[in-house]
Amino acid sequence: MREHIATLESLGATAFPVKTLAELEMADGLVIPGGESTTISKLLVNFGLMDAVRKFAEHKPVLGTCAGLILLSNRVEGALADQQLIGGLPVAVERNAYGGQTHSFEAEVVIAGEAERVAFIRAPRILDAGDAEVIAELNGEPVAIKAGNLMGASFHPEISGGKRLHRVFLELIEKMQAG
């Protein structure tokens, strides 16, 4: 989360952590970071934010990376039976499909026309991108997608200092604010 905030601020945006409803209401856009999607689900429920974040994601810009992509996807293979999702992205993903923690790797991907090194850490695979626009691919498979106000990426752009995905996200926020 800290890296996402630093990346967004380095691009000129004001960024802050969201832990309460009041903070969510102040935000023009939201990043759901990587981590463990099952834990993030539980935290969202326990903090009483799940429904509010679902409503936010219905019409405001949200970027999900790695675990965040899982939470934003409409179909998740390998989700826990009681795992709650935010949903909204018309895609199917499979949890942990790029291997376990020891199989984490970095790779260069082209994100909306610019090459960048990013990290894949127990990353979800996008099995079916549906109608979403593919904005990055790895070996011919989609690894970042955009559909309306929502964006998702299998990888962590922030760990290797990548800024391209965040720049595309800030452009989306600006475009949506301009109506």
Which residues of this protein are in contact with ligand GLN, per CB under 6 A? 34-37, 66-67, 70, 95-96, 121-122
- The residue among 14 and 39 lying less far from ligand GLN, judged by its C-beta, is 39
Sign for the pseudo-dihedral over CA of 37, 39, 40, 46? positive
Of the residues 4, 116, 156, 166, only one is catalytic, namely 156
- The residue among 105 and 175 lying less far from ligand GLN, judged by its C-beta, is 105
Catalytic, 4? Answer no
Angle 50-55-59 from CA coordinates, rounded to 5°: 140
Are 84 and 57 in contact by the 8 Å Cβ rule? The answer is: no
- The residue among 42 and 167 lying less far from ligand GLN, judged by its C-beta, is 42
Contacts 24+ apart (CB under 8 A), 44-53: 44/84, 44/86, 45/84, 47/19, 47/20, 48/21, 49/18, 49/20, 49/21, 49/24, 50/84, 50/86, 52/21, 52/24, 53/24, 53/86
Residue 79, SS3?
Answer: coil
In the complex, minimum distance from the CB of residue 122 to ligand GLN, in angstroms, rounded to a whole number: 4
Catalytic, 158? Answer yes
Are 4 and 31 in contact by the 8 Å Cβ rule? The answer is: yes
In the complex, minimum distance from the CB of residue 165 to ligand GLN, in angstroms, rounded to a whole number: 14
Catalytic, 166? Answer no
In the complex, minimum distance from the CB of residue 119 to ligand GLN, in angstroms, rounded to a whole number: 8
- The residue among 159 and 177 lying less far from ligand GLN, judged by its C-beta, is 159
Of the residues 4, 66, 94, 116, only one is catalytic, namely 66
In the complex, minimum distance from the CB of residue 4 to ligand GLN, in angstroms, rounded to a whole number: 12
Of the residues 4, 94, 116, 158, only one is catalytic, namely 158
* Main-chain phi, psi angles of 127, to 5 degrees: -75, -35
Which residues are catalytic, by number? Answer: 66, 156, 158
